[in-house]
Amino acid sequence: MKKTALITGATSGIGEATAYKFAKHGINLVLCGRRLERLLSIKKALEMFCEVYILNFDVSNKTETLKAIESLPNPFSSIDILINNAGNAHGLDPIHLGKIEDWDAMIDINIKGLLYVSKAIIPQMTERQSGHIINIGSSAGKEVYPKGNVYCASKHAVLALTEGMRIDLNPFGIKVTAINPGLVETEFSKVRFKGNKEADKVYKGFKALQAEDIAEIIYFAVSRPAHVNIADLLVFPTAQANSVTIKKEF
């Protein structure tokens, strides 16, 4: 039987690429995000491969999130694979200059949003005693870099939550995976720097990971046999050794 995946942050970058990858493998999709126009055009592009349903909500809004997921009609209401991908960095400032609005956004979206979505989906997985949750962490969840403070903290939290979920959901046979990329060329830096000017510099001088590279890894994780769970995976571009060591050529 065909599986159904719910992907948060499906309107761009890693989430969108994962939607395309899954669709081509016949996985039915529930695509989530705040930008409705994009959800509609991705749905249109993918409907020839699989069944697609869109949910337009902000993961940081608890009521909206729970209501949206509760509204899913059959057969989309039965989720086999949850990709907790929605998230972003907001700002890159030393802690004493950081903006409280940026901190709130990262904590509300990257941590609390992931929890709200998980809370809405996990009960059906425990009831069915099956399911796969993939949390998109980051290399920033494994090491802290200068000015990364709150973003790094939010991604460390994603890793802690992934481990906690894996332990607590173990009796139910539910797989829990963290996929932790280094630099991926998406809209991530446009959001972090609130525009293109600074963002354009981030991926210059080396070949960054592309969203499709991560989508392939996510598909690899979900397509392993039932007894195999990729627990935690760290992936860098070849030019990157850690958060601050990047071989650039100009």
Catalytic (active-site) positions: 151
Helices (H), the chain: 13-24, 36-46, 62-70, 100-106, 114-128, 149-168, 188-192, 196-202, 211-222
Q: Are 240 and 185 in contact (CB under 8 A)?
A: no
Query: How far apart (Å, rounded) are the C-alpha atoms in residues 15 and 110?
Result: 14
Would you say 117 and 84 are in contact if contact means Cβ atoms under 8 Å apart?
yes
Report yes or no: 40 and 55 within 8 Å, Cβ to Cβ. no
Whole-number minimum distance, CB 192 to ligand 8X3, in Å?
7
Site stretch for ligand 8X3 (CB under 6 A), options 117-125, 135-143, 158-166, 169-177: 135-143
Among 8, 84, 118, 139, binds ligand 8X3 (CB under 6 A): 139
Across the strands, what pairs with 235?
181
Instruction: Determine the Cα–Cα distance for residues 143 and 152; give it in Å rounded to an integer.
Output: 7
Among 183, 211, 217, 222, binds ligand 8X3 (CB under 6 A): 183
Shortest Cβ 165–ligand NDP spacing (Å):
16
CB of 239 to ligand 8X3, least distance (A): 13
What's the CA gap between 143 and 131, in Å, rounded?
Answer: 29
Which residues of the shown chain bind ligand NDP in the complex (CB under 6 A)? 8-15, 33-35, 58-60, 85-88, 109, 113, 136, 138, 181, 183-184, 186-188, 191, 211
Give residues 208-247 in contact with ligand 8X3 (rule: CB under 6 A): 243
Q: Which is nearer to ligand 8X3, 65 or 149 (CB)?
A: 149
CA-CA distance, 1 to 4, in Å (whole number)?
A: 10
Between residues 34 and 43, which has the closer beta carbon with respect to ligand NDP?
34
User: CB of 31: closest distance to ligand NDP in angstroms?
Assistant: 9
State how far the Cα of 40 lies from the Cα of 212, in Å rounded to an integer: 20
Question: What is the number of the residue whose Cβ is closest to ligand 8X3?
Answer: 138
Applying the rule CB under 6 A, the residues between 157 and 176 that interact with ligand 8X3 are: none
> How far apart are alpha carbons 57 and 36 in whole angstroms?
9
Shortest Å, Cβ 135 to ligand NDP: 9
Of 31, 114, 120, 140, the one binding ligand 8X3 by CB under 6 A: 140
Query: Which residues bind to ligand 8X3, rule: CB under 6 A?
Result: 138-140, 148, 182-183, 243
